[in-house]
Structures are given as structure tokens and as C-alpha cells.
Amino acid sequence: MRERVLITGGAGFIGSHLCDALLAAGYDVRLYDNLNPQVHGNGAWPSYLTKHAELQCGDMRDAARLGRALEGIDDVVHLAASVGVGQSMYEIADYVGVNDCGTANLLQLLSKKPARKLVVASSMSVYGEGRYRTAPGAIVDNAVRSDGAIRAGAWDPVDERGEALVPIPTPEEKVPDLASVYALTKFSQERMCLLVGKAYGMSTVALRFFNVYGTRQALSNPYTGVLAIFASRLMNGNPPMIFEDGGQLRDFVHVRDVAQACRSAIEAAPTADGVYNVGTGRGVSIAELADRMRTLLGRPDLKPQLTGRYRIGDVRHCFAEIKKARHALGFDPKVGLNEGMAELVEWVRCEAPRDQVDFATRELSRRGLVA
């Protein structure tokens, strides 16, 4: 008998790619999603979903519907969440309700009938600033940027002597530093799942996703991934908007590699239970990504708009150390950034995204969340 997997948030771009990968591997798949209009503009099941998956519409906070979605399920991949660092700082009740209370609902139900495997999506945002080292080689896990330095445009963290710190890959062992409500909810989600999973003998893996990109991302959602936001701006004849000076480093991992990490977590032995980074191990600057995107979309005239402003909750540099996931899960990212961005651009050309970045920025500014 084939294993049956429930993917919460299954209509989203990560969930849909995971669905395709699991069906191709011989699993039966059920998708559970609330079809949030911020992500799915018309509130309908997206056309990219396969007809071979079972679809159930419902909110994570609706215990009755969620209970029906869990019937006959062997494994659960919990992706459903409100996503966005900036928005989480003013839609606080929604983020805590969906992410934490929704996860609590799921775990309450699983405590009565545990799944064989639970995989939960966490986030690199739980780290806050990534790991650094000093010029002499000392590790720094508590780097901070003072308000005064940020106001002066000194964007990079420094050591106690005022000397520049060097960003290096961030491992799972780094102590979390929760800089936003979103980060707080993601850390709570992973801790709850690991705690309850252990208590009820349910094999549990938490995957800390770094910056996931690829086709099917919600292009009209101003709180989605930065590559999708850049594409939406450029497709509407607007320059990419970049906070700070564009030198901040992030780790961009393709959605197909993320789907493979989720499948590997499902299939891993219980001895592999724990927390894993899912990234590429390489940092790329936001300014470089903007330049690549406008070149690929044929808009070299739309030079990036460097705002010189700072959003509350943002960090300067963070990219993944993935040795642990390579060893325990066999995780090996295959899609290079050039290949992944070219594929994304070909998909974007067939879409009609709405650029809502100015609206989102005004909302953050109005609430004092942009300095």
C-alpha cells in the first residue's frame, strides 16, 4: 500500500512542487490550503496544480476540517504559514494565529493519532544575523547593528574594536536571535513539532529554509521572495527597490531542491530527527540579483533604486552551512542560480503580476517600521 502524505499549504509554490515530486516517487498526496487571496489572488485552486492530488480547502485554525484532512494519512509536511518579516510586525495576531495556533491545532490532532513522519517548514529568519568571524579568526554569533550605525549608513556589523566582521556560513548550532514576529512564530513552530513529536513517538524533522525561489511563486504578493518582487517590478516597468545599499548577502535555493529536501526528510530514518538548514551554502548580494534579473528580463534601463533605508527586522548577512543536511539527509542542491533564474524569467514572461511594493513600503513606513 502506497504511503499517503498530507501537505499543508499545499497549493503554494513550495507545496505544489513537493506534490509533483512525491507523486512522481509513487506517493499518494492530499493538499490542504486556505487559498489566501494575498497568495492566490482569486481565492481559487491554482491552475498549475496536478489533477492527481486530492484537494481539501481549509484553514489551519479550523480543527474540524483539519481533522478530516488528516484521515488516512501516513506522513505530514507542514508548510502552511503566513510569510513575511515586515508584515508580521503589524499583522501580529494573524501571524501568531495561523503559524503558532494553527500548528498547535495540527499537533493536538496528531497527539491522538500520530503520523509516521512529521516534517515542518522553519526559516533562516530564526538566526537573526548569520555567523561571522573576526579578522583574527574568532567566531561571532551575536553580531548586532546599532541604531546609530544604521542611521549613519554603516550597514555591516563590526567587532568591539570597530573592525569589520566577515560573514561565513551559518550552522544549525548558532543560537537563534529572533528579530521579527515571523521569526518568533517559525521558531515556535519547529520547537512545538519537535517536542510533541518526541513525546508521541512521531519522527519529526524541522527544515530551516533559506531564500526559496522558482516558478509558481506569488508574484503579486509584496511580502514574497525578493526575486519574485524584482520580477514583478520590472514586468511593470518599475526599477527594483533595494533597502540599505544592496550589499546584504542571502542564500537563494531553488524550489525543486527544497522539494527534494522535504522528500528526503520524509524518507529519513528516525535517527535523523532534528533541525536542518536547506540552502546552497553560498551568499549572493541583493544588488547582484537585481542586476541579473533586469538583464534577463531585457530591462537594463531600469537601474535598481537604492533607498538607503532600513526595515525593522531585517538582517545584514545570512547564508547556510549545509554539511549537516548533506550528511544526514543526503541533501545535495542541484539547480544553480543561473539556471534557476533563467527558468524563473521564462515563467514570469507568461504572467501578469501586479506590482504592490510601493503600497507595502508605505504601510511599513506609516507604522514606523522603516528607518
Are the C-beta atoms of residues 249 and 285 closer than 8 Å to each other? yes
Residue 157 cell numbers, joined: 556589523
The pLDDT, as a whole number, for residue 362 is 86
Report if residue 137 sits inside a domain.
no
Of 206, 223, 224, whose CA–CA distance to 215 is shortest?
224
- Is residue 71 helix, strand or coil? coil
Please state, for a pLDDT cut of 70, what percent of the chain lies above it.
Answer: 100
pLDDT class of 66 with cuts at 50, 70, 90? very high
Residue 249 pLDDT > 70, yes or no?
A: yes
- Give the integer Cα–Cα distance in Å for 140 and 137: 9
- Half-sphere exposure at residue 64, Cβ-oriented, CA atoms within 13 angstroms: 0
Helix (H) or strand (E) holding 310: none
**Which of 108-112, 285-289, 348-352 shows the lowest per-residue confidence on average (mean pLDDT)?**
348-352
What digits encode the pLDDT tens for the residues 122-156? 999 999 999 999 999 999 999 999 888 888 889 99
- Give the integer Cα–Cα distance in Å for 80 and 57: 12
The CATH number of the domain holding residue 245 is 3.40.50.720
Report if residue 146 sits inside a domain.
no
Residue 278 cell numbers, joined: 536547506
Residue 341 pLDDT > 70, yes or no?
A: yes
Residue 224 pLDDT > 80, yes or no?
A: no
Residue 39 cell numbers, joined: 497568495
DSSP letter for each residue of 324-360: HHHHHH-------HHHHHHHHHHHHTT------HHHH
pLDDT class of 194 with cuts at 50, 70, 90? very high
22 or 146: whose pLDDT is higher? 22
The pLDDT, as a whole number, for residue 202 is 98
Report if residue 102 sits inside a domain.
yes
2 or 52: whose pLDDT is higher? 52
Residue 338 pLDDT > 80, yes or no?
A: yes
Cα of 288 vs its chain's centroid, Å: 20
- Give the integer Cα–Cα distance in Å for 10 and 2: 19
**Which of 71-85, 120-134, 169-183, 211-225 shows the lowest per-residue confidence on average (mean pLDDT)?**
211-225
Residue 9 cell numbers, joined: 499549504
Q: In what order do the strands lie in the sheet with 132-133?
A: 139-140, 132-133, 166-167
Report the DSSP beta bridge partners of residue 367: none
Q: What angle do CA 19, 23, 27 make, to 5 degrees?
A: 105
Report if residue 143 sits inside a domain.
no
CA distances from 139 to 69, 132, 142, 143, 156 (A): 46, 6, 9, 10, 16
Number of residues assigned to the chain: 371
Domain enclosing residue 120, as ranges: 4-131+169-366
Report if residue 285 sits inside a domain.
yes
Of 195, 183, 197, 181, whose CA–CA distance to 117 is shortest?
197
Report if residue 230 sits inside a domain.
yes
Domain count, the chain: 1
Residue 354 pLDDT > 90, yes or no?
A: no
The pLDDT, as a whole number, for residue 1 is 61
- Give the integer Cα–Cα distance in Å for 96 and 192: 13
What digits encode the pLDDT tens for the residues 293-334? 999 999 999 999 999 988 888 999 999 999 999 999 999 999
Report if residue 284 sits inside a domain.
yes
Report if residue 159 sits inside a domain.
no
Mean pLDDT taken over the chain: 94
- Is residue 40 helix, strand or coil? coil
